[in-house]
Amino acid sequence: ETGVTQSPTHLIKTRGQQVTLRCSSQSGHNTVSWYQQALGQGPQFIFQYYREEENGRGNFPPRFSGLQFPNYSSELNVNALELDDSALYLCASSWQGNNSPLHFGNGTRLTVT
Amino acid sequence: QKEVEQNSGPLSVPEGAIASLNCTYSDRVSQSFFWYRQYSGKSPELIMSIYSNGDKEDGRFTAQLNKASQYVSLLIRDSQPSDSATYLCAVLLSGAGSYQLTFGKGTKLSVIP
């Protein structure tokens, strides 16, 4: 059974650019959640996708958007990057309706200059 | 705003001692609580989950939950230098249609050889 995998591992972008981060869910999981962890902070919930639709969103602006594909993998897109978007982006997969704990992928470190 | 509070530390303990990490939460109806360990530059790793009042032991780790006091703690017995990391407390947000975790900022633990 493979775990959650994220790509790329590291990314450097310039303010104003757009970025796409990718996540492959664990085998058998149909729900993907994304979190942002700024330096020195705990992870913050961005949104969750189930059956290819967003079914929960944290306090993030619309320039943070996502997709979930039929194979349950997911993308996080961020438009008009700001310096404060520099963070570790974490993805976790789960089975909807099962309150089992979340296991995170290795994350993508995004640096915006 | 539903919050999770942790002492940011750093908490320093000598090797072999007991490390005690504490967490309080504001959402009175929360039912699920988790402790994650995060090494510098890595993603959070789940180490304990607890759902009922009382103690739950797993090896050198003991999680304690007191819902009346809205308090959850993690004890690490026989602390080792490899336990040096940031420990994140997470609470499952109640009433949401999705599975959302609210994290504290984490407590940095240093185990001194």
Q: Lowest mean pLDDT: which of A8-22, A55-69, A76-90, B91-105?
A: B91-105
- Cβ-count burial of A10 within 10 angstroms (0-12 exposed, 13-18 middle, 19+ buried)? exposed
* Tokens, residue A31: 């729900």
Is B77's Cβ below 8 Å from some Cβ in A? no
A–B CB contacts, 8 A cutoff, strictly below: 60
Span B16-28, average pLDDT: 94
| Mean of per-residue pLDDT scores for chain B | 93
CA atoms of B84 and B11, how far apart (whole Å): 10
Beta-strand pair A10-13/A108-112: parallel
| Residue B96 confidence (pLDDT) above 90 | no
pLDDT band at A98, cuts 50/70/90?
A: low
Q: Please report which confidence band the pLDDT of residue A96 belongs to, taking 50, 70 and 90 as the band edges.
A: confident
Of B46, B34, B88, B42, which is closest to residue A107 (Cα–Cα)? B42
pLDDT the model gives residue B1 = 66
What pLDDT score does B95 carry? 58
Do the chains contact at B103 and A101, CB–CB below 8 Å? no
- pLDDT at residue B6 in the model: 95
Mean of pLDDT values over A4-26:
96
- Looking at residue B107, what is its pLDDT? 97
Minimal CA separation from B12 to chain A, in Å: 18
Given B32, B99, B104, which is nearest A42 (Cβ)? Answer: B104
Q: Which residues of B95-113 are buried (b: 16+ CB within 10 A; e: fewer)?
A: eeebbbbbbbbbbbbebee
Judge whether residue B17 has pLDDT over 60: yes
Q: Is it the case that residue A1 has pLDDT exceeding 60?
A: no
Amino acid at B78: D
- Alpha-carbon distance of B44 to B35, in angstroms, equals 9
Give the closest of B43, B93, B104 to A104, CB-based.
B43
User: Which of the four pLDDT bands, split at 50, 70 and 90, describes residue A2?
Assistant: low
Instruction: Please compute the mean of the pLDDT values over residues A9-21 and round it to a whole number.
Output: 98
From the list B72, B74, B73, B88, the residue with the least C-alpha distance to B26 is B72
Closest CA to B51 of B68, B38, B64: B64
Q: How many angstroms separate the CA atoms of A104 and A22, rounded?
A: 13
The residue count for chain A:
113
**Token digits of residue B30:** 């929360």
What tokens does B3 get?
């919050």
